[in-house]
Structure 1
Amino acid sequence: MAAAKGRASGPETTNDRFEITDLTSEAYWDRRPTEDEHRWLEAIAKLSPEPYVLNAQLEADHEPAIEPILTRDLDGWRANRYIGEIRYQGRTLVIKPRLDVETIMSWISTILNVQVLPRTAARSTDTTSVVTQLLAALWRASVLTAGQHALPRAGEKVSSHGLAVRGRLDVAATARRRATGHRELVSTRVVRTYDNAPARAVVLADRYFDQRLVGANWRGARLDEQLAAMRTATGARPQIPTLHEIRTARYSPITIKWRRAAELSWRILNRDPLGVAADSESTHGILIDVAELWELFVLHCVGLATDQVVRHGTTTRTAGHLARSAVDPHRTKGRLYPDVVVGEDPIMAVIDAKYKRLGGRRGVDREDLYQLHAYSSTFEAPVAALTYPAITDEIPPDEHFSPWQTSSGALSFLTLPTEKAACVAKLTQWIGLSHTSF
């Protein structure tokens, strides 16, 4: 992605913005695309979303699935697992969340155990503000997590000249000065400072959001206090650091999380879709992978719902194999990584989170059904489940008739509440019933 940015000269017109909702087919969009817009959507569908996705920063070892931004089938165009903005070829694609913004923010709060939106913050229904608020929530969570124990203080070596030693005597430098007729001693000391690459990136990202969330008390007291110390150190006009400077800065085991927060800040500053003209020669955008957020939210709720060991299969690389060679047992085929594994020796349950609808004429997707059955048989888990966000109070037939017995175990299809306490309660009930039944 090119670094050059073209600044917008004025507000976009309605025709410049195409607004859709995530995981919603074309038939349910507010308006149908024109032929010209169809060609533009085809170009969007060919873009790799990977350069624009930001919330992989939540877990450094987690490699989320990369799916196209848009796909097209018999029902027309359909947005996939991302929300955000992409500015491309003179237009802006806005993908809004089908769930309310506060719900997604609450997932982030649960995942990182921090309050990402102060209770006094102003709410906004403006489309651009929705994207900005979600970005601010991700960024705020990352900074608060990094600053749980210390600010990004780094050591800077400072040299002093004088008749007294301040710190450690620099013998070589002192000898060179004495050779030129000077009597001063040269000494060096390490000064701890917040004026460093990670702090500058965070301070500049804070300014970015402050300019776009005018009138909203979006930081909270704790973040205000931390940023005040960093602003004082970095000065009124800090220069944006390079990504190399952020990655090569010195971090201690206590401050290492500031690297992730600084990298996220740098990416937000360099992928700014709100300050780049849609007709810029470069493609700019920021996407949030909501499916990944749902997966991590379910993982944390499962951890609260049971006293069994709970592992994130895609992070811990808890793998199973569909087939193993009878000639060479070390050769395998079909490696599987379930989202959530409950228990060990033996495994009690496997769970896969699906950020999609359960219900309608299709019910459970055939591919998802086969995937869950493969998890159940491969991991020899007595119970396995696909978990979907509950959009309505209606219980879909696939869930109503769960569990579904197979030759290797029982399969359940669950719609989980999107609020933490209710989600934990339903999972606790399901896990309890599963243990008593099998």
Structure 2
Amino acid sequence: MIVEAKDCSKLKMPSSKELPKEELVNWLSDVASNVKAKNLTISVSGSTSQDNDERIVHCDREGTWWTGRYIGTLSYKGHCLNIQPRFGLDTIRDWLIEATSVVTTNVQGELQSNSSFIIQLLAYVWVQGIIEAARHGLPSLRRDVTVKSATIRGRLDVSKSIRLIAARQGQVISVHSEKSLDHAASCAIIAAYRVLRKGLGIPDEKWMPSRAIELVHQLLAVTGPHPTVPTQQELEKVRYTPITIGFAKIAELSRQIANRQGLTTEISKGEVKGLLLDVAELWELYVLSVLGKGSAALSVSHGTRERSASKFLLSSDINKRLLGKLMPDGILYEQGNIKGVVDAKYKSIFPSPTAPDGPQREDLYQMAAYLGRFKSQEDGFAWGLLAYPQDPLKTYLSEVEKNSPWSLDQKKKIFFAALPHKAIEATDKIRGIVEQMNNLSFSK
């Protein structure tokens, strides 16, 4: 049986002869306890350090089942969970375009919205990633080639050559460097291509722009149609040049895609199959993108991805050991001086049974900790912004946004904002918030 759901939403409990409600609850409990999201999740950014500890489904105190922050398909023990985006597929695509900074190209044929939407999104990100990385060509990388011949090419391998000379073979061993497309990154890309093509089921590569088809065929000529999927360690050993470094991200994303099976809603009788996208990560990337455009006078550091931007909450008086790493999504600087902190929350800004005031308590504590460490070195002032996705069904401002800013103490203030799903509108709203924050009159 296929159970349809939407992310971060109450799970409707369909009951049928095929799957009685009691059996469905037991199955959901099994998924919540034993299926780890991190084993199925693809990172849009290509990162391997995302926090994917949140459960795919969970049950609240009232016995209501909820989905988490993931979209995609999950097949396990005879049933399938298909989680669609609650804001719609078009919104997710808009966020992807903004977050990945790609330009839509003309594609032969149209991808329709259906149960395989997760594969469509992955294919879109993957195709655009290859085109972007290959602006200066494919990653032909240098590698050492060993040659046994009567002449020397490159540097002589003395020890091996001495043995050949002693055996009177009339040959020597030499090593020279040459450029080649035959490496782990190429194998990962083609392995992902095979998985996506099979999952989409669209003939004649109509889902790919002509430029992507050209690039893939060049790699196929080198790797063959069935390359072995490289390990993460093998990809990390690839030495890119400044021009080809863009392939590091797409190679890692390809490895993740290639290692995921069950990209369709076919029902697995035993092992876990499926693939998920973390919408919270996508929302974070979207917020950071519009933040950079809406605060042009300030520089933005990505706290979750730049080690130099992170700080610690505590420091031991005994041995100076640091404890409690703090990594806000975005940190705003003005000439090297911290002005504010931004955290993207893929949650509701409106009141709910678990958060009667709107924002969740742990998010408020988290922002308070951020502002305690990320503040101006000159005067100790700081402001924070918690950015939530706008709910299209609610045409009014939440109370916390309407009454922003909120004072943490005399030198720290917090704003709450629901950002539009269109990047232009979100950028305009961010610009207004940043201007308002910069003009704040902190009481002393």
TM-score (norm 2): 0.82
Cα displacement string for residues 68-102 of structure 1 (whole angstroms, at most 9, x for unaligned residues): 11111126111111111222111121111112223
Counterpart in the other structure of 1:80: 68
Counterpart in the other structure of 2:437: 434
Q: C-alpha separation between the residues in 1 aligned to 2:119 and 2:232?
A: 26
| TM superposition shift of 1:54 | 1.5
Unaligned stretches of 5+ in structure 1? Answer: 1-14
Query: Does residue 390 of structure 1 match 2:369?
Result: no
| TM superposition shift of 1:343 | 1.6
AA of the residue aligned to 1:388: Y
| TM superposition shift of 1:174 | 5.6
CA change 1:416–1:75 in 2 (3 A) is farther
Cα displacement string for residues 355-405 of structure 1 (whole angstroms, at most 9, x for unaligned residues): 122224532223323333343344345422211111224322322222223
Q: C-alpha separation between the residues in 2 aligned to 1:136 and 1:250?
A: 24
Asked if 1 retains the 8 angstrom alpha-carbon contact of 2:75 and 2:266, the reply is: yes
Question: Which SS does the other structure have where 1:338 is aligned?
Answer: coil
Query: Does residue 23 of structure 1 match 2:11?
Result: no
| TM superposition shift of 1:339 | 1.6
Q: C-alpha separation between the residues in 2 aligned to 1:417 and 1:293?
A: 14
CA change 1:423–1:281 in 2 (3 A) is same
Q: Work out which of the residue numbers 32, 37, 60 in structure 1 matches 2:24.
A: 37
Counterpart in the other structure of 1:410: 413
| TM superposition shift of 1:242 | 3.7
Asked if 2 retains the 8 angstrom alpha-carbon contact of 1:246 and 1:259, the reply is: no
Q: C-alpha separation between the residues in 2 aligned to 1:321 and 1:245?
A: 29
Q: Work out which of the residue numbers 188, 191, 194 in structure 1 matches 2:181.
A: 194
Question: Which SS does the other structure have where 2:276 is aligned?
Answer: strand
Q: C-alpha separation between the residues in 2 aligned to 1:375 and 1:84?
A: 32
Query: Does residue 234 of structure 1 match 2:223?
Result: yes
CA change 1:312–1:108 in 2 (3 A) is same
Q: C-alpha separation between the residues in 1 aligned to 2:134 and 2:386?
A: 35
| TM superposition shift of 1:31 | 3.4
CA change 1:400–1:133 in 2 (3 A) is same
Counterpart in the other structure of 1:347: 338
Asked if 2 retains the 8 angstrom alpha-carbon contact of 1:199 and 1:262, the reply is: yes
Give structure 1 regions of 4+ aligned residues with deviation exceeding 6 angstroms: none
CA change 1:244–1:375 in 2 (3 A) is closer
| TM superposition shift of 1:321 | 5.5
Q: Identity of aligned pairs, percent?
A: 28
TM-score (norm 1): 0.83
Counterpart in the other structure of 2:258: 269
AA of the residue aligned to 1:402: S
Cα displacement string for residues 264-314 of structure 1 (whole angstroms, at most 9, x for unaligned residues): 323322221136963343222211111011112111211111221211222
Asked if 2 retains the 8 angstrom alpha-carbon contact of 1:320 and 1:378, the reply is: yes
Counterpart in the other structure of 1:54: 42
The CA RMSD measured in Å over matched residues stands at 3.2
Counterpart in the other structure of 2:349: 358
Q: Residues 364-379 of structure 1: matches in 2 within 5 Å?
A: 364-379=359-374
Q: C-alpha separation between the residues in 2 aligned to 1:432 and 1:275?
A: 47
AA of the residue aligned to 1:24: S
| TM superposition shift of 1:145 | 4.7
Asked if 1 retains the 8 angstrom alpha-carbon contact of 2:313 and 2:324, the reply is: yes
Asked if 1 retains the 8 angstrom alpha-carbon contact of 2:56 and 2:70, the reply is: yes
Asked if 2 retains the 8 angstrom alpha-carbon contact of 1:246 and 1:263, the reply is: no
